[in-house]
Structure 1
Amino acid sequence: MIAQDIVIRPIITEKSMQDITKKKYVFEVAKKATKIDVARAVEELFKGAKVQKVNTVHVRGRLKRQGRFEGYTRSWKKAYVQLTADSKPIEFFEGMM
């Protein structure tokens, strides 16, 4: 897989934006991607970023109802990426602050 296939999108929530000052970022990643794949993809996509560690979480689909019909939302994988102290921050998130 190439880096664009591994990192799908950034997760922009209040909780994820609080950790940006600590250089901790949250991304939706491919379900089959490993921690090593995610680290390499982030370093390749965002020049100057050095990954210290990656934590991943499988998010289960939730049961949703629309009137009498019900179904599940899709399940996906989330990655918490911690950059090193001497790493350059990711500019995409800096514009959000």
Structure 2
Amino acid sequence: MTNLKHYDVLVAPVITEKSTMASEQNKVVFKVAPGATKAEIKAAVEALFQVKVSAVNTLVRKGKNKRFKGVKGKQSDEKKAFVTLAEGHSIDVTTGL
């Protein structure tokens, strides 16, 4: 049974060149909630996609200061999770939930 909290932990999949190359090593990249722990991320991925997770690595990309049409602004901090799946499991993130 999926808990509604799992949908709050995983914000969105990350579709970039780097994440596509990581998928060849059986890894999937997700943008996650800033307060999410590795255990919560693992439980959410296993419950929502019915796969076995072997490892979770996280990182926080600090927000950058940017200008847009002369107006200063700051991008938000962003937390990502690199989820390594067990052998024989896979997720197609292009289909969505």
- TM category (shorter chain) comes to 0.7 to 0.9
What SS class does the counterpart of residue 92 from structure 1 fall into? coil
Deviations 1:2-60 (A, max 9, x none): 1100000000000110111211010000011000000000001102x111010110111
Structure 1 runs (4+) greater than 3 angstroms displaced: none
Distance 2:20 2:93 in 1: 12
TM-score calculated relative to the size of structure 2:
0.87
Distance 2:12 2:27 in 1: 15
Structure 2: which 5+ residue stretches go unaligned? Answer: none
Task: Give the deviation of 1:68 after TM superposition.
Answer: 2.6
Please report the RMSD computed on the Cα atoms of aligned residues, expressed in angstroms. Answer: 1.5
What's 2:93 paired with? Answer: 92
The correspondence of residues 45-64 of structure 1 with structure 2, limited to 5 A, is: 45-47=48-50, 49-64=51-66
Q: Tell me the matched-pair count.
A: 92
Counting aligned pairs with the same residue, the percent is 38
TM-score calculated relative to the size of structure 1:
0.87
Structure 1: which 5+ residue stretches go unaligned? Answer: none
